Structure formats: C-alpha cells, structure tokens
Structure 1
C-alpha cells in the first residue's frame, strides 16, 4: 500500500538480500512459460552449487536436463578468471530478458496506490553481476501529482530517452546501463558492481518532483545480491557498526567479499 507522505520511514530501507532467511517472501517471481531455459534460483555464486529453484515452468526430465545444460553453458561463457562472491545470490536467466524477473511492489499505474511500495527514500542501490547477456531494471516512481514514471535501465539502450505515457503504459525514462564486463580493455577483478540511481535527480531533469518508489523489477539475465534505498548523500553500504546497533545481520548490507 502506498504510504502517506507524513509516514515516518528510516533513512535506509533494504527490500532484498539474497543471504536472508527467506529473501523472496514478499516478491513476485516470473519465469517464461514457453522456455525450459528460463528460471530463477538461489545458488552459490562461486560454484553454482546448493541451488534452490524458485521459478521454472519445465516439468519433464528432458526439460530439467535442458535447464541444467543452459546454466552450465552460461557459466562456461562467463569464464572463471574473475573473482566471485562467497555465498548465496539470486540468479535470473532467460533467452528473452523480458519474460523472467523478480518484482517488488507494483508497476501497474492503475494499482500502485493499493499495491505499491511507497518508499520515499530517493536513492536506490543494486548489487548486480553482469553475465554477458542483455538485462534491464525497471523502477516505478510517482511524482507529487501521483503520476507514474518508469525509470528503465537497460544494457542495450544507447542514450537517454523520455517516452510519453499512453492509455495503457506510464511515462518511460529510458537510460543506458553500463556494467563491468570482461569484454573490455580496462582490467576488472569481478563482474559484481554496485549501481546507485538518484531518482529525485533523474526526475527533476524532466521537470518532475519525486514522491515515492512504488515498484521495482530486476530482469534476466544477471545475478542479484541486494537492493536497498537511502537518503541523498548517504553511504551506499551498511557497515558492521549498524549491526552492533541492533540491525538484523541478514538485513545489513556489506561490500563484496
């Protein structure tokens, strides 16, 4: 439910942590219904072991073998030279990135008041791993007139573009998404990175005033460790001191190991 502007919220809100006890409890998971290679699972980033399959529409032994083979092929194509994380992450994989995603809240402009997140913190952070395939993020926000804009960051978008709303879809602010890749001349240690989006600044550049985030979708193919919201100028990481002050360890945010 969309929270009232007067509702007091903490200066940091974490909506997803892959290391928590039930990280997708409040999420909607969707995998393509016509592809046995489209799935979402929790697994160890370094080894792909200890996998828990969360969303998949296959049923036969042949489907299972095809899914397993697609995971192996994806890992082989990514290579092993770069460093991994130690621990559980969310893996989203699909031949068509539009079909497979994890969603919190609502991106439906007709339902955002009832089903939206209502997070008033203006900066959203993602810990993501690029896997050499197309992927994108959608963040649905409402302005001070309660009109929705979807901020979409995709790996194939060449430049910033603002598309007007239609009867069926909200306004779309399209942004290029550049993540670390092994296919570059600049040396990197890992494909993991932290992406921070100042939503209030992005909206103000189009003449709009940020009010709240109502929905977030992360689409295949990528790996997700955490995403969270902060105030402007606040550190993108949560340190050990926050745990000592009483924050649940599974909700604390740490830099990559």
Structure 2
C-alpha cells in the first residue's frame, strides 16, 4: 500500500478529525459499534470502538485482506483513551527472514509470551488519554533475533477511543511534533519509563520497549 511511497518523518494511517478517518480501514462489528463521537475530556471528535467481545469488534488496515501496508518506519504511535474495559491491538510485521510476526498487546493479559509467530504482552494503561509508542525494530530483534523490515497490518480491537495512529522514523520530542500530531498543543509531556499525569490535561505516555521489559513485565517468559 505504501511500499513504493517515499517514507520519512511521519506517516499517519488514522486521524479522527479527517473527513474519512476509516478510508483505508475495514471494520468488523458484532454486538458493538464503531462511530465518531465527541470526547468530553478534549472536546473534540474521536473514533470510538466498543463491543461486548474484543475479538469480534475491531478495525483493520489495510481494508483489503490481501494487501499489506508496506510501512518501513519502525516506530508506531497510538493516541488512545482508556475506557476501563478490555482492550487489545495487534501489529503484524515482516522480518529479514521473510517471516510474518505479530505483536499483540492487551490490558487483560498478565504475562508476556514469545512464540514463533506471535508475541503477546500486557498493556498497562492509565486513566484517560494515553500515548502508546512501540519500537517495532527493537521488538523484532529482541523477540526473534531478526531485523524488522516493514509493518504489514495494524488491527485495533474494542474497547477504546482513538485520536490518531501514525508511524515515524524515530521518536520525536514534544517540541518537534507538528501541532496536529498532539492531542492538546503545549499541554503534553513525555516520560520514557512511566506515565506522567498533567495538571491541565489527563494524558499519559507509555513507551513500550524491550529496554524496560523487566520493569514493565516482571513475569517475562520465552
């Protein structure tokens, strides 16, 4: 999908304020709903994904099941709100052994497990809005001893609210981010190992990194 596109800086695949936020996404809804709604904390439109079963209500990109994203940028960033319900998302990547690996994070899982084709891990989200940052190249290298080539697919399940999902060539400081990539301009800070609440806006930043795996996941197992 983006394989032949020049990639540098930022590449956004979902923005809740866009005219068609799910233009390149497909959705599956069973006993749930996916809609754009006004968030009471940021007073702006966001995409809400809710369902009674996290596995049966989700959005997936690309929309065509036979297509792949072809995004080589190694950092994935999600601006997501914790709805205090079960939530999971999954990233499928290709490594230099030409093997497809999946990384799945869930807020209802307690232990990280690495299997040949899938790595599942706990996701600890604080209340309110969170920014989740994943170093996919580091994940691939540490979990499988191979090199990250590209991201093939992104799938986000219930239950959450989304502002934006994007890839970047590196992690950018808050000052370097374009205003439209911030949840609230100049009311936002980052911390490498833990979430930090702000007085004015309840936003929390989590860097999911294997460097902090022992701190984040004390029950790490292979």
TM-score range, shorter chain: 0.7 to 0.9
Deviations 1:22-58 (A, max 9, x none): 11111101101xx3xx110101011xxxxxxxxxxxx
**Number of residue pairs matched by the alignment:** 183
2:166 is matched with 228
1:121 is matched with 73
2:155 is matched with 217
Q: Measure how far apart 1:2 and its partner are.
A: 6.6
Greater strand content: 2
2:24 is matched with 26
2:79–2:163: 8 Å Cα contact kept in structure 1? yes
Deviations 1:122-148 (A, max 9, x none): 000000011111010100000012210
> Partners in 2 of 1:89 and 1:2 — Cα distance?
25
**What CA RMSD, in Å, does the superposition of the two structures yield over aligned residues?**
1.9
1:198 is matched with 135
> Partners in 1 of 2:135 and 2:150 — Cα distance?
12
1:101–1:219: 8 Å Cα contact kept in structure 2? yes
Q: Measure how far apart 1:8 and its partner are.
A: 2.9
Deviations 1:126-177 (A, max 9, x none): 000111110101000000122101100000111211123xxxxxx1111110
Describe the SS at the equivalent of 2:181: coil
> Partners in 2 of 1:119 and 1:130 — Cα distance?
27
Describe the SS at the equivalent of 2:137: helix
2:49 is matched with 92
1:103 is matched with 60
Q: Measure how far apart 1:106 and its partner are.
A: 7.3
1:12 is matched with 10
Greater helix content: 1
Describe the SS at the equivalent of 1:15: strand
> Partners in 2 of 1:239 and 1:210 — Cα distance?
26
Q: Measure how far apart 1:107 and its partner are.
A: 10
1:106–1:215: 8 Å Cα contact kept in structure 2? no
**Taking structure 2 as the reference length, what is the TM-score of the superposition?**
0.77
2:24–2:63: 8 Å Cα contact kept in structure 1? no
* Partner residue of 1:162 out of 111, 114, 117: 114
> Partners in 1 of 2:42 and 2:150 — Cα distance?
32
**Taking structure 1 as the reference length, what is the TM-score of the superposition?**
0.67
1:172 is matched with 118
2:195 is matched with none
2:26–2:63: 8 Å Cα contact kept in structure 1? no
Mark the structure with the bigger radius of gyration: 1
Q: Measure how far apart 1:232 and its partner are.
A: 2.5
